[in-house]
Amino acid sequence: MAANANQVFIAVIGAGGVGKCFLSQLQSLAARRPSPKLTLCYLATSRKALFNDDYSAVNMDNALDSLSASSRTPPPLPQVIEYLAAAPAKTILVDNTSSQDVADHYPLALSRGVSVVTPNKKGFSGSYQLWQEIFIASSTSGAKVYHESSVGAGLPVISTLKDLVDTGDKVTKIEGVFSGTMSFLFNSFAPTEGQGGRWSDEVKKAKSLGYTEPDPRDDLNGLDVARKLTILARLAGLPVESPTSFPVQSLIPSQLESCTSGDEFLEKLPEFDDQMEETKTAAEKAGKVVRFVGSIDVASKSVKVGLEQFDRSHPIAALKGSDNIISFYTERYGNNPLIVQGAGAGGDVTAMGVTADLLKVISQLS
């Protein structure tokens, strides 16, 4: 088949919470867009795959059912990328996993002309070498790479930072609340009005409401926020080596680091409530509240993640629910930063960032 400029092939890896929402948005999009025609040519999880060797379309309408029923296992990623690179139209790989292995293959995909769209943080927050390989491969081949939802889900965070930098503004500082889980926890534990609950109770409540990872330690260790800060710092021009190369405060008490399960951790957590209570009281005495924030100071090249105190009227203190808030201080914006705020987690809003990125790539390919 000859390459068809009026068609774009989409390959999707991952069918979890975000993946399912994305497939539903893709289906609506394909129905709405007569041109270019969007063809789903590959859909896979880590265990199953759905594709046709002759590149005929996978039916989007029942793709998840067909995937469940499929007897094909996913080929090794280099083989998947060759399949996509040889497709008879421009191809976009949508990585809806949080897999390091998939991220490690972005340079190969990009160098073979396959564009990449993803909410997966791993490719952009792991080693600095991988980051460089990704963007060198993209600029050499012309294939695009977009990852808006890797920070703040569908909020316009990465696109805004890129616009600031690309138009010649100087970003001086970025600070904010980058985790929906941490936002929810601290808005409940140390509210601007009223008392708030015991720390371990709030963690259990957040888990039962689905606001934490299955193992809440994956939120409390601060690594998720550190990964997001790494991405933003690099975009702002700091060659941060990895998310462990700057100070990150973990909220896992050192005595509980050896717990073998999340359940054991949650069981023992109440023994350490006094520590967090002290932190809260110290802030209260200063007329403030405590929040878990990340900040990047570009001039001093310092990146850090952890607890800080804020005035009750500060936008970071006044945040609601599980909202994120990100403030960009720049030369042009002066003392009053450019602020983006809203839900920074959730399947639909994360998928929205992926779909919006997909549309941007399509507009550049077709």
Q: Which residues are catalytic?
A: 228
Phi/psi class of residue 70: alpha, beta or left (left: φ > 0; alpha: ψ in -120 to 50)?
Answer: beta
The CB-of-25 to a second copy minimum distance in angstroms stands at: 6
The CB-of-22 to a second copy minimum distance in angstroms stands at: 10
The CB-of-265 to a second copy minimum distance in angstroms stands at: 29
CA separation, residue 263 to residues 155, 214, 267 (Å) = 33, 10, 6
Query: Rounded distance, CA 278 to CA 256, Å?
Result: 18
CA angle 35, 41, 45 (to 5 degrees): 130
Phi/psi class of residue 142: alpha, beta or left (left: φ > 0; alpha: ψ in -120 to 50)?
Answer: left
The CB-of-352 to a second copy minimum distance in angstroms stands at: 5
219 or 323: whose CB is closer to a second copy?
A: 323
Query: Rounded distance, CA 87 to CA 164, Å?
Result: 36
- Flag whether 121 is marked binding: yes
- Flag whether 168 is marked binding: no
The CB-of-261 to a second copy minimum distance in angstroms stands at: 33
68 or 364: whose CB is closer to a second copy?
A: 364
Q: φ and ψ at 87, to 5 degrees?
A: -65, 150
- Flag whether 344 is marked binding: no
72 or 332: whose CB is closer to a second copy?
A: 332
Point out which residues bind a second copy (CB under 8 A).
Answer: 25, 28-29, 154-156, 159-160, 163-164, 166-169, 313, 315, 318, 320-321, 323, 332-343, 346, 348-349, 352, 355-356, 359, 363-364
276 or 316: whose CB is closer to a second copy?
A: 316
225 CB contacts (<8 Å, ≥6 apart)? 178, 179, 182, 248, 292, 294, 305
- Flag whether 172 is marked binding: no
- Flag whether 15 is marked binding: yes
- Flag whether 342 is marked binding: no
155 or 236: whose CB is closer to a second copy?
A: 155
Query: Rounded distance, CA 354 to CA 115, Å?
Result: 13
Task: Give the residue numbers of the binding site for L-homoserine.
Answer: 213
Task: Give the residue numbers of the binding site for NADPH.
Answer: 97, 121
Task: Give the residue numbers of the binding site for NADP(+).
Answer: 14-19
Task: Give the residue numbers of the binding site.
Answer: 14-19, 97, 121, 213
